[in-house]
């Protein structure tokens, strides 16, 4: 749904609320009955609509949390389970029960053709498929099993592991499949770029920023857990991991930009990448230590009043890796806190585990309130008052990243998750 849909649509309860005399056991207004009286609906239609409205109201009120909010599952694809297992592998826990259960869920999502999609009924997506196969292998699945052979063939027929995206390359480097030189350079010196420069971190979206900053520390620190050869994935490459080019291939996303420019952005970014890697090979890194310090302090500050960095899965994963690379133990409060945030995204169902990318209570509560009002629930209903109070308690009145470029404005707004005060 486009953001504009929320702007242009006018809800029935906008403006003065029309009170009807026909109410149900919830005190809700029976709008379909009114429509029937006015001749807009047949009697049979009215009854079916009223029954549907009652069931909807009954369901929503039954799942409202005690403090007034609603929260439902925010669905994702198998990249979430795969990357969680890859983090566990970095921590030496790839055979833990939680990893095995997540792998079982991944196996269940395999396409008939052998790969994995990133949306229902979608085609094979190469990065998701490579990570799914790899994590199944890490958690003990037999590479000779029929479904593994089918996955391997599908990946190779789609172009092989050479075609994975840049984030997947970083997982390859993290577990010793390739070198960090074969990943896109993300130097922490980015933290020193002034705000007027086009590539400073505050020119990025909040989502990108919370990924790029920890990724820059991964580039600088280059943590690795070298896997045993039998847990490698050479069989997914058409050539070999060592032959993977040090620069990324042409970006179809850049090629497909609707607003074309005369600049060849692919060539520009690849040249910047090659130049920076050459500089680093010459050991010209006078600002590396202060850059690491600034990037890490930036992350630490944004862990306060937040469900993890950005309150969303990918930055939390990278934060755990960065903490470990900086010497924090598994038992440290910092590592345990971030692992705890990831565990709160887990949904256990039978013998499987899946993950959410984040929680969505503010979003879910606002939508539920609008739905109940549309369905006729009075504004002064106890459930509505509790929901409104909960939403007000989540209002952000402190400055966040957005205020770096927007000064002199009193902060107010709402985030998506339970706690994410830097990113309303």
DSSP string, 187-252: -GGGGGS-TTSTTSGGGS-HHHHHHHHHHHHHHHH----PPPGGG--GGG-SS-GGGS-SS----H
The mean pLDDT value for 152-177 works out to: 98
**Whole-number Å distance between alpha carbons of 407 and 267:** 36
pLDDT band per the 50, 70, 90 thresholds, residue 89 = very high
Q: Are 361 and 414 in contact (CB under 8 A)?
A: no
Most confident of 213-222, 251-260, 261-270, 400-409: 213-222
CB 362 within 8 A of CB 394: yes
Domains of the chain, start order: 3-72+360-393 (no CATH), 79-248+262-355 (1.50.10.20)
Q: Find which of 40-49, 209-218, 258-267 is predicted with most confidence, using mean pLDDT.
A: 209-218
> Tell me: the pLDDT tens digits for 109-122?
999 999 999 999 99
Instruction: Give the distance, in angstroms, between the CA of residue 341 and the centroid of all CA atoms in the same chain.
Output: 13
Q: Among 196-205, 240-249, 358-367, which range has the highest average pLDDT?
A: 358-367
DSSP letter at 29 equals B
Question: What distance in Å separates the CA atoms of residue 343 and residue 337, rounded to the nearest whole number?
Answer: 10
Mean pLDDT over 216-232 rounds to 97
Q: Which of 319, 103, 69 has its CA nearest to residue 213?
A: 319
Q: What is the pLDDT of residues 192-207, one digit of tens each?
A: 999 888 889 999 999 8
CA distance 166 to 77: 18
Rounded mean pLDDT, 252-258: 48
322-327 mean pLDDT: 98
**Tens of pLDDT, residues 342-355:** 999 999 999 999 99
Q: How confident is residue 46, by pLDDT bands cut at 50, 70 and 90?
A: confident
Secondary structure (3-state) at 165: coil
Q: What is the CA radius of gyration of the chain?
A: 25
Average confidence (pLDDT) over 402-414: 87
SS3 of residue 23 by DSSP? strand
Share of the chain above pLDDT 70, in %: 85
Residue of 184, 136, 150 whose CA lies nearest to 164:
184
Q: Where are any strands of DSSP class E within 24-160? A: none
Say whether pLDDT at 155 is over 60: yes
| b/e sequence 202-234, b meaning 16+ C-beta within 10 Å | eebebeebbbbbbbbbbbbbebeeebeeeebbe
Which pLDDT score, from 0 to 100, does residue 270 have?
76
Q: Sorting pLDDT into bands at 50, 70 and 90, what band is 211? A: very high
Q: Is the pLDDT of residue 9 over 60?
A: no
Please check whether residue 393 is in contact with residue 289, taking contact to mean a CB–CB distance below 8 angstroms: no
Please tell me the predicted confidence (pLDDT) of residue 278: 80
Residue 212 contacts residue 186 (beta carbons within 8 Å): yes
Query: What's the confidence (pLDDT) of residue 239?
Result: 96
pLDDT tens digits along 124-146 = 999 999 999 999 999 999 999 99
Is the four-CA dihedral 396, 400, 401, 407 of positive or negative sign?
Answer: positive
End-to-end Cα distance, the chain: 19
pLDDT at 41: 62
* The Cα angle at residue 122 between residues 116 and 163, in degrees rounded to 5: 55
């Amino acid at each position: 749904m486009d953001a504009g849909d929320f702007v242009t649509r006018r809800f029935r309860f906008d403006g003065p609320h029309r009170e009807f005399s026909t109410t149900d056991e919830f005190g809700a207004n029976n709008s379909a009955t009114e429509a029937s009286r006015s001749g807009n609906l047949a009697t049979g239609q009215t009854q079916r609509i009223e029954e549907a409205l009652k069931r909807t109201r009954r369901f929503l009120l039954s799942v409202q949390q005690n403090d007034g909010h609603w929260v439902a599952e925010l669905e994702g694809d198998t990249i979430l389970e795969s990357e969680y297992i890859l983090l566990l592998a970095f921590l030496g826990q790839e055979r833990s029960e939680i990893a095995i259960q997540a792998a079982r869920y991944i196996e269940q999502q395999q396409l008939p053709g052998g790969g994995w999609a990133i949306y229902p009924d979608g085609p094979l997506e190469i990065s998701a498929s490579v990570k799914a196969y790899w994590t199944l292998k890490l958690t003990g699945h037999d590479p000779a099993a029929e479904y593994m052979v089918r996955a391997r063939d599908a990946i190779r027929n789609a172009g092989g592991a050479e075609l994975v995206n840049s984030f997947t390359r970083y997982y390859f480097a993290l577990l010793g499949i390739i070198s960090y030189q074969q990943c896109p350079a993300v130097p922490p010196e980015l933290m020193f770029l002034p705000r007027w420069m086009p590539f400073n971190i505050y020119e990025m979206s909040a989502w990108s920023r919370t990924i790029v900053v920890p990724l820059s520390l991964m580039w600088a620190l280059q943590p690795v857990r070298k896997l045993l050869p039998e847990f490698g994935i050479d069989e997914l490459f058409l050539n070999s991991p060592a032959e993977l080019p040090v620069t990324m291939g042409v970006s179809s996303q850049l090629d497909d930009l609707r607003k074309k420019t005369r600049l060849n952005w692919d060539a520009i970014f690849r040249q910047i990448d090659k130049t920076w890697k050459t500089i680093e090979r010459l050991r010209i890194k006078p600002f590396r230590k202060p850059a690491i310090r600034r990037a890490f302090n930036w992350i630490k500050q944004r862990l306060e009043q937040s469900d993890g960095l950005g309150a969303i899965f990918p930055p939390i994963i990278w934060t755990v890796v960065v903490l470990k690379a900086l010497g924090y133990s598994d038992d440290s409060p910092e590592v345990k806190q971030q692992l705890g945030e990831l565990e709160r995204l887990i949904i256990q169902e039978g013998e499987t585990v899946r993950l959410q990318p984040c929680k969505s209570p503010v979003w879910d509560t606002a939508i539920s309130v609008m739905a109940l009002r549309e369905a006729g629930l009075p504004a002064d209903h106890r459930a509505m008052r509790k929901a409104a109070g909960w939403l007000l308690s989540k209002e952000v009145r402190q400055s966040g990243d957005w205020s770096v470029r927007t000064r002199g404005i009193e902060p107010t707004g709402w985030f998506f998750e339970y706690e994410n005060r830097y990113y309303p």
